[in-house]
């Protein structure tokens, strides 16, 4: 994991650079030399908060399921077995 630090000015001038850097680890954004914000990928954010995608997000997802989107999803979290008795 790589930690990247960008000034607010650098972030404003090239947000694409910040997004690319966030793929490798957190990006600290500074204001006047002091850390003020952190940019994370949604996957990293979900890992540290323990969140999983909602059912709406899963139904709306049209990307490749092999890209890691479903890694933390367990069937029991989005559906329950039906009891027909």
Q: Count each helix (H run) and each strand (E run) in the chain, helices first.
A: 5, 3
C-alpha 31/C-alpha 7 separation (Å) is: 6
Per-residue pLDDT of the chain (85 residues; tens, 9 = 90+): 899 999 999 999 999 999 999 999 999 999 999 999 999 998 899 888 888 777 787 788 776 655 555 555 555 555 566 677 6
**Are 58 and 27 found together in one domain?**
no
In a domain, 45, yes or no: no
Residue 36: give the domain boundaries: 1-40
Structural domains in the chain (count): 2
**Are 28 and 4 found together in one domain?**
yes
Answer whether 0.75 is exceeded by the pTM: no
């Amino acid at each position: 994991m790589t930690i990247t630090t960008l000034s607010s000015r650098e972030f404003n001038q090239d947000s694409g650079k910040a997004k690319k850097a966030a793929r490798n680890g957190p990006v600290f954004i500074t204001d006047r030399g002091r850390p003020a914000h952190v940019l994370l990928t949604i996957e990293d954010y979900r890992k540290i908060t323990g969140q999983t995608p909602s059912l709406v997000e899963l139904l709306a997802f049209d990307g490749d399921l092999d890209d890691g989107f479903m890694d933390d999803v367990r069937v029991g979290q989005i559906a329950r077995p039906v009891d027909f008795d």
